[in-house]
């Protein structure tokens, strides 16, 4: 009788445990049925790490583009970039403008040369397809059976040839792609700086009174005398660079004892000094 009571009590305890487990699982089933996702199921950690990595890489790329574009801009003018260092924040902002400008130029070039882009995409797709087929062929049962029937020296030679051909074809392509990815920000920044400088050269050569110039001329004075007059290119704590309209060239001058004045009296063709239309004679 004691054994029967003990066995019965064990069965009752087991039923209570099973009932408790079923009750604990009811909310989970209800949540899954209603389509709700618990906060722990969403991968916030990997997502935050991904955004942090993108922000870090993006900051480096923008800084690189800003630095290279500033160097190329001054070098196109024939000015020493070492005289005009830029702070980090200004370099990143300059890189942002360079990125937006070059991205728009690339989209325009892609529309104009869509055939070349499609051809390059097809070539890359064919190469990836060949690599995938070679990988599947190396793991197929037919190839393994064929290798078993061939001499050991022949199978080793075939494997060496396949590996060599794959490396000879893959390494150059990988190096070209790596160089392309690493050089793209620098190339885009350089093109942006050079293009801005060339556009300004054409406009500044027209002089201070040209209608194409929206920027005002400046006078650089020292000891009460004007030593240069033209358009401001760049400035730093020690030097100032401007395009001298009288000499038709860029100049970098020391700022010691100088005064920079903005000439608001420039007039466009067809206007008098007060900005009103000139009266016909």
Contact predicate 217/263, CB 8 Å: yes
Question: Please, where are the H alpha helices in the chain?
Answer: 2-34, 44-77, 88-112, 114-138, 141-149, 152-204
143 Cβ contact list (under 8 Å, min separation 6) = 137
Pick from 7-21, 213-227, 255-269: least confident? 7-21
Q: What is d(CA 172, CA 166) in angstroms, rounded to the nearest whole number?
A: 10
Q: Is 90 exceeded by the pLDDT of residue 52? A: no
CA distance 97 to 92: 9
Q: Cα 151 to chain center, whole Å? A: 53
pLDDT at position 45, please?
Answer: 78
> What was the pLDDT predicted at 111?
76
Average pLDDT of the segment spanning 21-46: 56
In a 13 Å sphere around the CA of 38, the CA atoms on its Cβ side amount to: 8
Classified as helix, coil or strand, 259 is: strand
State pTM to two decimals.
Answer: 0.60
Nearby residues of 62 by Cβ (< 8 Å), 6 or more positions away: 92, 95, 96, 99
* pLDDT tier for residue 272 given thresholds of 50, 70 and 90: very low
Mean pLDDT of 118-124: 81
Whether the predicted pLDDT of 69 surpasses 90: yes
Mean pLDDT, rounded, of the chain? 76
According to CATH, where is 2.30.30 located in the chain? 208-281
Per-residue pLDDT for 5 more than 50?
no
Q: Which of 95-104, 132-141, 180-189, 226-235 has the lowest mean pLDDT?
A: 132-141
User: 234 with 79: CB under 8 angstroms?
Assistant: yes
- What per-residue confidence (pLDDT) applies to 6? 47
pLDDT score of 279 = 46
Helices 44-77 and 88-112, axial angle in degrees (round to 10): 90
Q: Please give the CATH architecture assigned to the domain spanning 208-281.
A: Roll (2.30)
For 146-199, the pLDDT digits (tens) are 666 777 777 677 778 877 877 777 777 778 777 777 788 899 999 999 999 999
């Amino acid at each position: 009788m004691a054994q029967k009571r003990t066995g019965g009590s064990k069965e009752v305890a087991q039923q209570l445990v099973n009932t408790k487990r079923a009750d604990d699982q009811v909310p989970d089933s209800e949540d899954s049925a209603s389509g709700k996702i618990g906060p722990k199921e969403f991968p916030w950690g990997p997502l935050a790490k991904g955004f942090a990595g993108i922000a870090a890489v993006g900051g480096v790329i923008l800084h690189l583009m800003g630095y290279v574009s500033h160097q190329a801009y001054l070098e196109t003018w024939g000015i020493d970039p070492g005289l005009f260092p830029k702070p980090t924040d200004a370099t990143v902002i300059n890189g942002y403008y360079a990125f937006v400008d070059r991205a728009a130029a690339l989209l325009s070039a892609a529309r104009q040369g869509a055939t070349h882009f499609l051809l390059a995409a097809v070539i890359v797709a064919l190469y990836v397809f060949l690599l995938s087929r070679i990988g599947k062929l190396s793991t197929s049962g037919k190839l393994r059976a064929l290798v078993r029937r061939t001499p050991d020296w022949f199978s080793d030679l075939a494997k060496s040839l396949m590996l060599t051909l794959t490396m000879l074809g893959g390494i150059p392509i990988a190096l070209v792609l790596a160089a392309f990815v690493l050089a793209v920000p620098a190339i885009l920044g350089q093109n942006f700086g050079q293009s801005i400088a060339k556009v300004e050269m054409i406009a500044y050569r027209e002089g201070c009174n040209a209608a194409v110039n929206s920027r005002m001329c400046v006078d650089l004075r020292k000891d009460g005398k004007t030593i240069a007059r033209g358009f401001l290119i760049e400035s730093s704590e020690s030097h100032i660079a401007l395009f001298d309209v009288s000499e038709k060239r860029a100049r970098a001058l020391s700022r010691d004892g100088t005064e920079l004045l903005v000439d608001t009296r420039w007039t466009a063709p067809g206007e008098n000094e007060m900005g009103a239309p000139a009266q016909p004679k």
